[in-house]
Amino acid sequence: MVLGKYKTVVSARSTDKEILEKSQDGGIVTQLFVFALENGYIDGAIVTGIGDRPWKPRPYIATTKEEILAARGTKYNISPNISWIKEATRSFGLDKVGIVGTPCQMQAIRKGQLYPIGLREVPDKIALAIGIFCMENFPYKSIQQLVEDHAGQKMQAVKKMEIGKGKFWVYTERGNVVSLPLKITHKYEQPGCHVCLDYVANLGDISTGSVGSPDGWSTVFIRTKKGEEIWNRAIAAGCFETTPIDQVKPGLELVTKLANEKITKNKKYIEERASYGVNKGLRNPYI
Amino acid sequence: MAPEPPKREEPPKKEAVAAPSAAAPSEMKRETKAETTKKEEKSVTNKITVGHVHMSGCTGCLVSLADNYGGLLKILDDYADLVYGLTLADVRHIPEMDVALVEGSVCIQDHESVEDIKTTRKKAKIVVALGACACYGNITRFARGGQHNQPQHESFVPIGDLIDVDVYIPACAPTPQMIRNVCVAAYLLLRGTEDQKTLAAKFLKPLMNAAKRGTTACFCDLMYEVINQGLCMGCGSCAAACPVRAITHEWGKPQGQRDLCIKCGACYNQCPRSWYSFDVMNEFEGILELIDGAMK
């Protein structure tokens, strides 16, 4: 299950210039939500905007194209998107909810559908769950420390952050580009990420990320029937340009390599946890 | 792969029709009515038998079961025969049954309740703790007695403190969809094909583990077993699951107002890092379709 179940995988990018202007890569998530909203597949989507500090995520429920566009781009720190899932169906009255999240959040969504312990009415209302590739996440203060202390930039001056080509990149509005080797970022990672065994959001309806595709494009896995239907309609409506994944560099080979690296490393850590103390270990959540 | 609906076209028993016609040959129309009733009874044979046992609870769990609306009728038509339930089934004593859904905690000063829960254990093949009071005590943990007209009824324990429990359906109230999923799984476990039995067993396992784990769960368990154990990744499930909005996220991590916590265990059990089964979750699409199909 390194790459999870999927029906098709392609390299793609949005055909909407406005979306691409501020999207992280190919604008896949934004474009899909806009298409799904405008065509009645969803009534709204839980997305990640900016909160009360620069680059601090704030999950919110977007019910218009403008609100979806306002959430473009990746914020490399924790955004509890699932916290809105019940409110979306109740306070907001949405019958068809879209949600974007990391692989662990896709796991949370599916657990919530199969075991809706505290999620009344939620299970039947998840219309489109889009997962994003994720190696690890960071607490807000980690990002602040990386940007301000290591990269020497003001948080509010940052235009874009990115992890790619083995580095953490910071781009500022005024054109500074600073890159940090991942060796530096590792110790700032969120510890909870180190038991995660999913790199490419195996449980999304659709999952996407930059890895495997050229700059400005995204690799897209179409995984479920729901995902496939919406994706095919979006393609037919001209929302995306696509290239077969075997015709792009570095392609699936890199995705598989990184997924294997993550899973192998984290499996080893889970084993280490089992004998963390003296005849005592730490919990393993997987049964 | 929807489960095969039970056969409903079996002919009615002839004696039943014959008896009244012999007694009152003139009333032929009534006999036709009796035939229809018999048909329904016949289809019961393939159903599992379920009872709702009411301990000290608010009936919210039962209301949640009813909140499946059409789905409840489907369950009662095709999968489960309700053989016991205050107000719902005209049966005085707890009968033999496949599944007992127990709502509420047990007042240990109320001997009738204590006898009832013990009888339930003896008479039911599977005992399900339905809802947070039965699983974890929930709001009845805060009971101190002194109320009319039984002021001495002051101590309440989750049913797991008195009997072995097989399956937990936590939360206050448990959701209609969770009850539905467990009902379908229980039916498939007892009456399904071999494949369905295997799948249903996998599905129910975490809920059986929850029953073995113990009779306490609240926001503190989320702290002890997830956050303190370095497992939390800030997904937000706990805050969404909390019925009293006691959980927010500060800097991406759960912050619980413990005075608001009613000890229902929803946050702990909803958390993908409290327990998580790849066997089940990787099959989510198929299982959701199976449940959908079963409810059609």
3-state DSSP assignment of residue A27 = coil
Q: Distance between CA atoms of A1 and B138, rounded to whole angstroms?
A: 39
* pTM, 2 dp: 0.91
Residues in contact with A76: Cβ distance below 8 Å, sequence separation at least 6, in sequence order:
A55, A137, A138, A143, A161, A163
Residue of chain A whose Cα is closest to the Cα of B251 = A140
Any domain includes B6: no
Across the interface, which of A82, A107, A124 has its CB nearest the CB of B236? A82
Q: Whats the size of chain A, residue-wise?
A: 287
* Contact flag A117-B176 (C-beta cutoff 8 Å): no
Q: Which among B150, B159, B60, B52 is positioned nearest to B109, based on CA atoms? A: B150
Q: Is the pLDDT of residue B178 over 50?
A: yes
In a mutational test of the A interface, the residue from B168, B175, B205, B248 whose CB has the highest number of chain A CBs within 10 Å is B175
Residues of B in contact with A79 (CB under 8 A): 234, 252
CATH of the domain at B64: 3.40.50.700
Q: Distance between CA atoms of B144 and B99, rounded to whole angstroms?
A: 32
Residues in contact with A71: Cβ distance below 8 Å, sequence separation at least 6, in sequence order:
A30, A47, A48, A49, A60, A62
Q: Distance between CA atoms of A250 and B177, rounded to whole angstroms?
A: 44
Local confidence band at A144 (pLDDT 50, 70, 90 cut-offs): very high
Q: Distance between CA atoms of A137 and A115, rounded to whole angstroms?
A: 26
Q: What ipTM was assigned to the predicted interfaces of this complex?
A: 0.96
Q: Whats the size of chain B, residue-wise?
A: 296
Mean pLDDT of A185-193: 96
Q: What are phi and psi of B223, to 5 degrees?
A: -65, -55
Q: Find the Cα–Cα–Cα–Cα dihedral A263, A107, B251, A143, rounded to 10°.
A: 40
Give the domain A138-188 fold. Answer: Nuclear Transport Factor 2; Chain: A, (3.10.450)
Residues of A in contact with B267 (CB under 8 A): 118
* Contact flag A115-B181 (C-beta cutoff 8 Å): yes
Q: Which among B49, B180, B78 is positioned nearest to A124, based on CA atoms? A: B180
Q: Is the pLDDT of residue B6 over 90?
A: no
Residues B122 and B259 both lie in one domain: no
Q: What token pair was written down for A53? A: 């500090």
Local confidence band at B29 (pLDDT 50, 70, 90 cut-offs): low
Widest distance between CA atoms in chain A: 61
Whether the CB of A139 is below 8 Å from some CB of chain B: the reply is yes
Any domain includes B107: yes
Any domain includes B192: yes
| Higher pLDDT among residues A75 and B29, named by residue | A75
Q: Distance between CA atoms of B235 and B253, rounded to whole angstroms?
A: 8
Task: Quote the domain boundaries for residue B281.
Answer: 48-215+277-294
3-state DSSP assignment of residue B83 = strand
Any domain includes B13: no
Residues B193 and B231 both lie in one domain: no
Percent of chain A with pLDDT over 70: 100
Q: What token pair was written down for A175? A: 């054109």
Q: Distance of CA B14 to CAs B26, B29, B31, B37, Å? A: 18, 16, 11, 13
- The H or E element containing residue A230 is helix A225-236
Q: What is the CA radius of gyration of chain A?
A: 19
Residue pLDDT, tens place only, A86-128: 999 999 999 999 999 999 999 999 999 999 999 999 999 999 9
* Contact flag A203-B174 (C-beta cutoff 8 Å): no
How many domains does one find in chain B? 2
Q: Is the pLDDT of residue B20 over 50?
A: no
Mean pLDDT of A179-202: 97
Q: Which among B274, B293, B295, B275 is positioned nearest to B285, based on CA atoms? A: B293
Residue pLDDT, tens place only, A238-261: 999 999 999 999 999 999 999 999
User: CB count, 10 Å around CB of B49?
Assistant: 19
Residue pLDDT, tens place only, A194-217: 999 999 999 999 999 999 999 999
Please say whether the beta carbons of B163 and B120 come within 8 A.
yes
| Domain map (residue ranges) of chain A | 8-135+195-274, 138-188
Helix, strand, coil percentages in chain A from 3-state DSSP, rounded to 5: 40, 25, 40
Residues B69 and B85 both lie in one domain: yes
Q: Distance between CA atoms of A196 and A262, rounded to whole angstroms?
A: 8
pLDDT of residue B44: 47
Handedness of CA B215, B259, B254, B225 (dihedral sign): negative
Residues B106 and B191 both lie in one domain: yes
Local confidence band at B46 (pLDDT 50, 70, 90 cut-offs): confident
Q: Distance between CA atoms of A200 and A219, rounded to whole angstroms?
A: 10
The B residues from 200 to 239 touching A (CB cutoff 8 Å) are 203, 205-207, 209, 225-226, 229-239
Residues B152 and B170 both lie in one domain: yes
Q: What are phi and psi of A45, to 5 degrees?
A: -140, 145
